[in-house]
Amino acid sequence: MQIANYIENHIVRFIQVLRHLGVRVSSAETVEAIRSLEHIPLLEKQQVKFALRAVLAKDREAQRVFEQAFESYFVPLEQKQERLEQRQQQIQEYLEGLNQAEEELVFAFTDDEDLITDEGQETAMKLDLTEEQKATYAKLQQRERKKLKDYLKAHHEGNDFNTPHNLLESVVRGQLEYWRRKLAQQEQEQEEKRKPPLEVELTGDDDFDEVLEHVAANLDDEETILHEDMQQIADKDIPKVTLLIRKLSRRLATRISRRYRQSQKKQRVDLRRSVRHNIRYGGTMLELKYKTKRVEKPNILLICDVSGSMARYASFVIQFIYGLSSVVDRIESFIFAEDLERVTPYFNSSNDFATTMAGIMNESKQWGKGTNLNVALMNFNERHKNLLNPQTIVVIVSDAKTIAAPKAVDSLTRIKGRVREVLWLNTLPKKEWNNVKNIKDFQKNSRMFECYTLAHLDKILRNQISIRG
């Protein structure tokens, strides 16, 4: 029997699936899961499922993901093979669509629709389009495809000596962007009552990725808001968001508090103190002395971009962070757009969060303005550097789009050298980061995370905010 067929290897691989889907599973829990199967009949699928769920799914969200992951992973071999073949067919159709877009969206036409160079030889003068633009073209109806091809042909004819290649390329890109948004809107309307698919990072392993995609496509519709872009959450859903953030932050605070209490337990015998203490007994060990690591609660320092495109994200992040106030030593909050404002005193009042945020927005001189991160960080270094120490976790919330970015990088470097960690919550999808100048320089002085949904925010803070011993 090959090693891949052993039950232990299947359980380990299934746990890898859970981890890729955002479920936290430790090495100890992996061992415990395997051992739990020693006490049940392995041919009873439901009993195997209940045993693994009891060990691996620690909260409601994890249980929801576990249920679908289990049903997607543990399937008959014939069914798995059928799903793999379907996936391969979809990939092939996708690639064929890209190739078709390359072949049809060409620049120079003759009367018989052949392509020619200056020397009269046939060639293919393709437009410089992104993969996403080609994929959009592949989704269009034949009528819309023909319009684009006719447009290219019509604007080249009679202009052989001065072909406006760049201009036409720009127009085609604009048309494809229009259709991309329209198709996305149509899909959103069709899926209005369904939860957006869970986003997963593929690995390149076909068997593994097929399971991940199957889970993401079939996960139930519970807690839709958790995976929705915070910028797109409707005003009518704000009360639901408030309750959800309160639940998530309380759950995280409970987890951190439990970790903190465990660190207070006796961990190691202090031999030196034990020997000295027992000299009175002639050196015979009667009483042991213990030592534990000194526990340090982190300080959190928030620096939130509240420019026009960022303000809504900032309000949700601030609300989440303040839900952790019981388990962190101190929270300092700043907002910025064209300049920096300290807003910590607002949160020391007895007002509820909604009233507090309304007060900040009404009285702030920065809310909704343009972005100058350099001025914000420079002023922070001049006025508030006393707040920085080795226990401080700096959390920056921004899409990194700012004027004077190189100077902002220098200011961030000075902050990074004085604190425990700089976490950057970037509200742009990761695939767009390459389009933002200087973002790689910001990453040299921070740990940057994609964060435009509450699910992102919960996962980041759950993994990065901790009690250090």
Residue 423's pLDDT is 97
Dist. CA 459–CA 455, nearest whole Å: 6
Q: Is 50 exceeded by the pLDDT of residue 178?
A: yes
Assign 216 a pLDDT band (cuts: 50, 70, 90).
confident
> Which pair of tokens denotes residue 315?
């309000």
> Which pair of tokens denotes residue 120?
């009269």
Residue pLDDT, tens place only, 367-412: 989 899 999 999 999 999 999 999 899 999 999 999 999 999 999 9
Q: Is 60 exceeded by the pLDDT of residue 50?
A: yes
Cβ pair 69, 14 in contact under 8 A: yes
Residue 264's pLDDT is 45
Longest dimension (CA), the chain: 109
Comparing 47-56, 121-130, 152-161, the range with the smallest average pLDDT is: 152-161
- pLDDT average, residue stretch 117-123: 45
More confident residue, 405 or 160: 405
Residue 4's pLDDT is 38
The pLDDT > 90 percentage for the chain reads: 32
Torsion of the alpha carbons at 177, 183, 187 and 189, rounded to the nearest 10? 100
Residue 125's pLDDT is 64
Q: Is 90 exceeded by the pLDDT of residue 302?
A: yes
Assign 293 a pLDDT band (cuts: 50, 70, 90).
low
Cβ-based neighbours of 270, under 8 Å, separated by 6 or more: 289, 290, 291
- Residue 42 pairs with which residues in a beta bridge? none
- pLDDT average, residue stretch 175-203: 64
Dist. CA 143–CA 105, nearest whole Å: 14
Residue 211's pLDDT is 84
Round the average pLDDT of the chain to a whole number and report it. 80
Comparing 174-183, 223-232, 264-273, 424-433, the range with the smallest average pLDDT is: 264-273
Q: Return the H-helix or E-strand segment holding 309.
A: none
Cβ pair 168, 107 in contact under 8 A: yes
Residue 290's pLDDT is 63
Residue 214's pLDDT is 80
Comparing 46-50, 93-97, 148-152, 426-430, the range with the smallest average pLDDT is: 148-152
How is 273-316 classified by DSSP, letter by letter?
HHHHHTGGGTT---S--EE-PPPBPPEEEEEEE-STTTHHHHHH
Q: Is 80 exceeded by the pLDDT of residue 36?
A: yes
- pLDDT average, residue stretch 185-209: 65
